[in-house]
Chain A
Amino acid sequence: MENTRRDFMKAAAMAAVVTATSSQKAMGKVFEAPSPLKWHKSVCRFCGTGCGVMLGVRDDRLVALRGDVEHPTTKGLVCAKSLFLPKIVHAKDRLKTPMIRKNGTLVPATWDEAMTLVAEKFASAIKKHGPDSVAYYGSGQAMSEESYLANRLFKGGIGTNNVEGNPRLCMASAVGGYVSTFGKDEPMGSYDDIEHAKVFFLVGSNTAECHPVIYDQILARKQQNRDVLIITLDPRKSPIDTIADVHLDPVPGYDLAVLHAMAYCMIRDKKHDKAFIEKNVQFKIVKDKKPTNVTFDEYFEWLSKNYTPRQAELQTGVSQAKIEEAAKIFAVGPTTSFWTMGLNQRTRGVWVNNLMHNLHLISGQIGKPGATPFSLTGQPNACGGVRDTGSLCHILPYGRAIKKAKHREEMEKIWGCKPGTIKPKPGLHTIAMFQALARDEVQAMLILTTNPGHSLPNVSVYRDAMGKPRPNKPFICVIDGYPTRTTELADVVLPAAIWSEKTGVFGMSERRYQLHPQVIPAPAGTVSDFDFLLDFAGRLEAHGVVPKGYVSSKFKTTDDVWEEMMLASKDTAYDFRGITRERLRKERGVRWPAPTVGHPGTARRFVKGEDPCLDAGPYADLTLKPGETKFYAAPNHRATVWLRPALGPAEPADADYPFVLTTGRVLEHWHTGTMTMKARELRRAYPTCFVEVHPDDAKKLGIRDGKKIKITSRRGEATVKVRITQAPQPGMIFVPMHWEDVPSLINLVTIDAFDPGSKQPEFKMCAVKLEKA
């Protein structure tokens, strides 16, 4: 019987499922579908899961994408967004021509015209107003080499620490939590822990929609073992709650008390790990603005006084019984905790991260298979590209701090700059940087592969800072692959090659560095951020504001930069000198630390026998037995349990603004939608923005499903369609942040209050009122 085209399509689809699920049973039913494509291994462009993908190329066009079944952690799975990347890459509205603003309008220009103008504006600002009059705002979507190079150019070449990036908006509190608890950033565990965990604690994380491949692995674990239990902590019911055994739903912003009460229950019931605590943990409270040591007994006394389950119930609305049950389950373990923006995008973001670590430290649910605290990331390269390379205003590459003279000296030596070039004072953090722009104190800003004209909170203020015409208005250069709400504000727009059109490294959530190779030519007229930075640096050298040859004599390709990056990791807790370019081309990524080429990478940090830093180098300890934990990067080699007060949000609901607005994401879209909105299929899944309203609130307000309502805060308003659902609790509304049209742009409403430690804004909570539109 002759097979029709339809049969072949079905067979190909079935083959893909069979391959992705490593299932042989259905193989007999599958025809071999002809495949004229050339396939290349790569990494997905979207979230921080770091899914391995195979890219199908025909005639220099990316025409297909499939999960990479040989990928060691994601094993062939991808989500819907990823499948549409080929369409997104070839979208009709890709930027392909540089543009310069003339008489208020962006007009096409040559690359040389545009670059000449950009270099002149930056050089002029530096000469007239000093190095701190310029700034860089980068991205967790740029390649590691690009972020490293930009950081190197601004801090070590120009001499300003005004280096920031969008990870400040999503991960800074996680960084603050890791550093203040363990001494260094990044998780100690890995995705391998999912296969060993018997308890999952999912906190402020809509894992099913935001990290669907991780969610699948959690489900798989629960299917394999009926004893696996799932606890969720989130004021909003997201799809993960369909599988939750216990759901803790505090009043938005008051979850700190729940976490303290869980710690109280564990200690009261003698479920804490006394031996682990005595060997590895210290306790601190901030008194008179100074961290002060307290004893374990004082910690318990503090919990007993302030955070019993009864007290937590009164403060948070979560029943004592649920808190008790969650604590009991958590302590049994092995427990893996995952969290994301629900904890990080808060004015108490660092503190609540600390409290997550507290639970693992006092229960000893750490450093063992299946037991780890783990902050998931939202961008493909926030970890490897921005956090690890030190491309924020207060840090330097690979765990070094701007404030430490020794660290500045080390980087000055590696970068080849004059001693004293790197300033000892941190630069402007993101909100401060855009505020300085509004005051015209920052006179020239480079924005690379990110969209602050949409993604900043209280965005109207910062849109004006970037684009409102005025005398002495700062100069804004944006390089991006697509037109965005930021390119429309720029003075110069440069068209960028993206992802599969260039070669570089992404570092995802579990410390795995992976290469994505160039597999198709960049569209005519575009250049990579890397090539742009090389050109920019060369022109600044020519203007005399960067030392001659500082960049231009050292690098030609991203491979050259990688060599220096590997060297910069020597003698740090990140040591990845073994993750060579050659190895990255062959392997499906390697998890640092990996100090030698023969090292397989590290699944679990701080554990003897697994973490190579404990075997050789400055952190080596030859007295430890295999399996023993040592928090070698922390002061006194002890992780810190912090006694943080359970304070609420910056702007709680009140009589005038009686609802709490929280923002987030949906499965089919990603961040500001500049890519996912290009795929008709994804756009159609959610054609318009919406607001989730609880049925009780809808009834009180007389609001009907599908009708529009106006959401107003003290800063601005948005008007979107109502979706009546039990997902948010009464008094709370949820709006996804992907839509850019003005009635839907929810960041006109959000608050730019930020965590005093991490400087991360509180996207997750602000007070609003609702009115029929």
Chain B
Amino acid sequence: MRQDIETLAVVGAFARIEPGASVKVRQRLNQIPGVETFDLDDQDRVGILIETKDAAGAEEILEGPIKATPGVWGAWPVSVELEEDPDRIAEA
């Protein structure tokens, strides 16, 4: 397996948040390294992009700091986009 490749994973997720706490919760989430938030139609949900080296790192951020953020009731991943060396994918 090649070790010198740059890898990238982007996980799309959303969080259900305490009603009325959207602004504060988004501010807190945006402070987590690798995390960006975006609006959804529903004020009690917030869209989340997690950008890390690999999907495992994104999973750790989702299950760790995101779910631990005050005002977050729950968070769910929706998609995993992986940018990896094709040889590496074939080996997986």
Contacts and interface: CB of A to CB of B under 8 A. Distances in A.
Residue among A13, A26, A67, A80 facing the most chain B CB atoms (10 A cut-off):
A13
Nearest to B62: A80
Interface stretch (A15-23, A38-46, A262-270): A15-23
Interface stretch (A218-226, A299-307, A349-357, A586-594): A218-226
Given A219-B16, A226-B19, A685-B59, A22 B41 contact: yes
Residue among A10, A22, A79, A239 facing the most chain B CB atoms (10 A cut-off):
A10
Nearest to A12: B81
Contacts of A22: 41
Given A680-B56, A685-B60, A25 B78 contact: no
A79 B80 CA distance: 11
A95 B15 CA distance: 38
Contacts of B77: 79-80, 83
Contacts of A402: none
Contacts of A213: 76
Interface in B1-18: 8, 10-14, 16
Contact of B41 (A25, A78, A83): A25
Interface string A61-81: 000001100000000111110
B40 A215 contact: no
B57 to A, nearest CB: 9
B92 A87 contact: yes
A219 B78 CA distance: 17
A213 B42 CA distance: 17
A242 interface: yes
B74 A17 contact: no
Interface in B50-80: 51, 54-56, 59-60, 62-63, 67, 73-74, 76-80
B39 A667 contact: no
B79 A16 contact: yes
B48 interface: yes
B83 interface: yes
Nearest to A678: B92
Nearest to A208: B74
Nearest to A87: B92
Given A9-B8, A87-B92, A14 B76 contact: no
B73 A243 contact: yes
A5 B83 contact: yes
B87 to A, nearest CB: 14
B40 A23 contact: yes
Contacts of A243: 73
A667 B74 CA distance: 12
Contacts of A216: 16, 74, 76
A472 interface: no
Contacts of A226: 19
A219 B39 CA distance: 18
Interface residues of A, number: 51
Contact of B45 (A5, A21, A67): A21
Residue among B11, B38, B67 facing the most chain A CB atoms (10 A cut-off):
B38
B35 to A, nearest CB: 12
Contacts of A76: 78
B70 to A, nearest CB: 10
A78 B14 CA distance: 12
Nearest to B72: A242
A15 B88 CA distance: 26
Contact of A13 (B10, B42, B59): B10
Interface in A739-770: none
A684 interface: yes
Interface residues of B, number: 38
B47 A66 contact: no
B14 A9 contact: no
Contacts of B38: 14, 17, 26, 29
A336 to B, nearest CB: 18
A21 B79 CA distance: 12
A14 B14 CA distance: 10
Nearest to B50: A13
A350 to B, nearest CB: 32
Nearest to B39: A25
A21 to B, nearest CB: 5
B73 to A, nearest CB: 5
B56 A18 contact: no
Contact of B78 (A16, A26, A92, A222): A16
Nearest to A5: B83
Nearest to A243: B73
A20 B49 CA distance: 14
B73 A17 contact: no
A561 interface: no
Contact of B49 (A10, A208, A222): A10
A60 to B, nearest CB: 14
Contacts of B49: 10, 13-14, 17
Residue among A12, A76, A219, A680 facing the most chain B CB atoms (10 A cut-off):
A219
B12 A16 contact: yes
A6 interface: yes
Contact of B63 (A17, A87, A667): A667
A491 interface: no
B21 to A, nearest CB: 11
Interface string B19-35: 10000000000000000
B82 to A, nearest CB: 8
A668 interface: yes
Interface in A70-111: 76-80, 83-84, 87, 90, 92
Contacts of B42: 21, 23
B72 to A, nearest CB: 9
B18 to A, nearest CB: 8
Given A13-B81, A14-B49, A17-B78, A26 B39 contact: yes
B19 A223 contact: yes
A461 interface: no
A66 B78 contact: yes
B78 A67 contact: yes
A681 interface: yes
Contacts of A623: none
Contacts of B59: 80, 668, 681-682, 684-685
A198 B85 CA distance: 50
Nearest to B44: A223
A24 interface: yes
A26 B37 CA distance: 11
B77 to A, nearest CB: 5
Contacts of A219: 16, 73-74
Contacts of A668: 59, 63
A222 B45 CA distance: 13
Contacts of A609: none
A547 interface: no
Nearest 5 pairs of A and B residues by beta carbon: A13-B12, A16-B79, A23-B40, A223-B44, A684-B56
Given A15-B12, A17-B47, A79-B77, 7 more contacts: A13-B11, A16-B12, A20-B79, A22-B41, A26-B47, A67-B78, A77-B78
17 contacts: A6-B8, A6-B51, A6-B83, A10-B49, A14-B49, A17-B49, A17-B78, A20-B79, A26-B39, A76-B78, A83-B77, A84-B55, A208-B74, A219-B16, A219-B74, A684-B60, A685-B59
